[in-house]
Structure 1
């Protein structure tokens, strides 16, 4: 797996500080990478980078391939001459993202930039743009999908006229011409996102920092993916899902989680040699150096919930493609550096699939202290082939978690760490760094010692998530020095 011990920070780019109401791929992003270098870190883990749809969740996007245009650095567009810097900026909160306000401000500016680029862009940049369009196979379908959503008032694709919902060739050609201007705006935004992200990745790699991406196993129903290849999903004759994804009742929810994503028609995917998945992995590794697979266990078996059910209680485990899929992907792409998110209901079959390819699983320290010395999340039970975290985007911050546990639970934490718990976030960071786990990754909130007001996501809640941002100046020299000291002490630098 990973022969060198490494550590890093989990932070989604939307959480970066800076102007414009949301983190971007600009100056503050480079400053964050500078912090990682100074603190001795070698990994930056992000959440999925796609255009978030319902609830602003990066795990529910309009495309599994497109980038989030809200992350585009507008200052770069000004520098390139595509945008004026005279447009008044709303007053944005510094500690969270108001997605509606950001979208209403930023999307019109991206459209204006596209218009100016097409009218006045220099030949060299236009050649780069056309090369991107010619070599990006998913681009036109995505741009047309988004243009159609705008044209039909944001309605789901199943509510569009039948001829375009069913992708009849004549309708595709007709709307590609009719909506050409909007399609061009979408393609321009994707070009800018991907060139900016490429520069950020090159900047990080140049400092010895690898990017850990995130690939959700499922896609959103109202997406260019399902509209584009509906035969690869379990849909009825009207295009609606017959079954949807979720998980049974667990640590997070007594009624389980009904995610609502359509489920794959694995037989149809196998019949095409898993081409769609091969291209999805290829695309993700074009963006990142390592990839975490969210809900890895779904490849062995996933929880199928009848679409008519309101909760995820009444579902059943249905077998997935297992090794057939990964053999096809590795056969096409070679050995790929994967982190398997193996949390939740994990069976011996899931473990066998993970271990067959030596994919490291995840160990969450917040899960470690409630069941005695045999708890698999306790560091003394680790093997090197794992990734340890204090918590993830789905957990409380470590400070918030410690404040919420029972006195008995708290005493178990203090006994194991041998501390007073006064700086519990640093104690768990120290445990992770000292462990034999090959990789140790910590949410930035835990380096900063923040409480649950900085939590990123509360699973099972439809709103109020994904909006946390940290402020400029929140990372101090003390944070850098302390993280560097511990990282060096435990041989991760």
Structure 2
């Protein structure tokens, strides 16, 4: 714990300035850390760093373990030889906000070009080591994202039943059919974590600690919910039996309907909360300090029926 009072700034990397339509982990991030150190600030707080889904909220991510490829620094890819100066020609993105639609389209194409060049170069030892070290979550995530690409972004509960329900034969066929796309999503994760760990090392060298954020719930349309469906309260067709929210209060007469699936805490307890242990372990490698958003949910939590339109008709349940 802290032995002295510290101060710092909350600034998500998407807000760094730059020409590429969205902040990234490049030179502006390092300049920000230099400024923090010069101002004698010791803390940098960020929002969740995961790959954002529909709505582009860092609190609705496709994975509780993966990083957001939109934060990858393009200039670092040029220095590695994966991109040319010509590749970095950018559309006229707004300078004061993130226009996610065009940014996603441009950056995905950029990362695809970088991946194609990476395959030609052939030196994959660091990449292979990363894939082995992170296989516990990376394999399910890469397959999930490849399947989402193949289904034009549709959520997993709308896929054909064999893939929705992860039937082994269907997964074998999907891995074979989508092998190139799976490798691409592994590649973007390697890039993100390599850049982030270098940035974190620099922050720590400047005596700055990074505070990360763990939302207690995951998104329904996430690799976590799809790959670990038995750890959540879903029905046989992947529909949530109950969802998360908070009851009505002074600020909202209908409460807040978050819509996240609810954990099957009894099932999680049976294996020693292994998924949560791995999630904490992963986040404690990413950050120096971790904040749990809605920590009280471990004590008790509000649930409403999965088909509810508001959070009015729910109940409190005891947490683990």
Normalising by structure 2, report the TM-score. 0.97
1:285 maps to which residue? 284
Q: Give 1:127's match in structure 2, choosing from 125, 129, 132.
A: 125
Partner SS state of residue 273, structure 1: coil
User: Matches of 1:285 and 1:219 in 2, distance apart?
Assistant: 18
User: Matches of 2:249 and 2:45 in 1, distance apart?
Assistant: 26
User: Matches of 2:212 and 2:249 in 1, distance apart?
Assistant: 26
2:318 maps to which residue? 319
Alignment of 1:202-351 (within 5 A): 202-250=201-249, 252-321=251-320
Partner SS state of residue 103, structure 1: helix
2:167 maps to which residue? 168
Partner SS state of residue 55, structure 2: helix
Partner SS state of residue 56, structure 1: coil
**1:271-293: per-residue Cα shift (whole Å, max 9, x none)?**
01100000000000010000010
**1:326-365: per-residue Cα shift (whole Å, max 9, x none)?**
xxxxxxxxxxxxxxxxxxxxxxxxxxxxxxxxxxxxxxxx
Report the RMSD for the aligned CA atoms in angstroms: 1.0
2:46 maps to which residue? 46
User: Matches of 1:252 and 1:188 in 2, distance apart?
Assistant: 44
**1:196-229: per-residue Cα shift (whole Å, max 9, x none)?**
0000000000000000000000000011001001
User: Matches of 2:68 and 2:132 in 1, distance apart?
Assistant: 20
User: Matches of 1:208 and 1:169 in 2, distance apart?
Assistant: 48
1:9 maps to which residue? 9
Deviation at 1:54, TM superposition (A): 2.2
**1:115-166: per-residue Cα shift (whole Å, max 9, x none)?**
1101214x3xx10000000110211110100000110121111111211111
User: Matches of 1:165 and 1:300 in 2, distance apart?
Assistant: 32
User: Matches of 2:296 and 2:84 in 1, distance apart?
Assistant: 48
The number of equivalent residue pairs is 318
Matched, 1:158 2:157: yes
User: Matches of 1:206 and 1:291 in 2, distance apart?
Assistant: 19
**Any runs of at least 4 consecutive aligned residues in structure 1 with deviations exceeding 2 A, and if so which?**
249-254
User: Matches of 1:215 and 1:94 in 2, distance apart?
Assistant: 29
Partner SS state of residue 65, structure 1: coil
Deviation at 1:251, TM superposition (A): 5.4
Partner SS state of residue 138, structure 1: helix
Deviation at 1:85, TM superposition (A): 2.0
User: Matches of 1:52 and 1:252 in 2, distance apart?
Assistant: 27
2:79 maps to which residue? 79
Unaligned runs of 5+ in 2: none
1:37 maps to which residue? 37
Deviation at 1:80, TM superposition (A): 0.4
2:57 maps to which residue? 57
1:141 maps to which residue? 140
User: Matches of 1:68 and 1:254 in 2, distance apart?
Assistant: 35
2:20 maps to which residue? 20
Deviation at 1:252, TM superposition (A): 4.5
**1:221-270: per-residue Cα shift (whole Å, max 9, x none)?**
01100100100000111111010001122354332110100000000000
Q: Structure 1's 155 and 49: CA in aligned 2 closer, same or farther, altered over 3 A?
A: same
Partner SS state of residue 24, structure 2: coil
User: Matches of 2:116 and 2:262 in 1, distance apart?
Assistant: 39
Unaligned runs of 5+ in 1: 322-493
Partner SS state of residue 144, structure 2: helix
User: Matches of 2:118 and 2:98 in 1, distance apart?
Assistant: 28
Q: Structure 1's 251 and 73: CA in aligned 2 closer, same or farther, altered over 3 A?
A: farther
Alignment of 1:344-359 (within 5 A): none
Partner SS state of residue 291, structure 1: strand
**1:405-461: per-residue Cα shift (whole Å, max 9, x none)?**
xxxxxxxxxxxxxxxxxxxxxxxxxxxxxxxxxxxxxxxxxxxxxxxxxxxxxxxxx
Alignment of 1:456-475 (within 5 A): none
User: Which protein is bigger by CA-based radius of gyration?
Assistant: 1
User: Matches of 1:155 and 1:104 in 2, distance apart?
Assistant: 17
User: Matches of 1:166 and 1:118 in 2, distance apart?
Assistant: 32
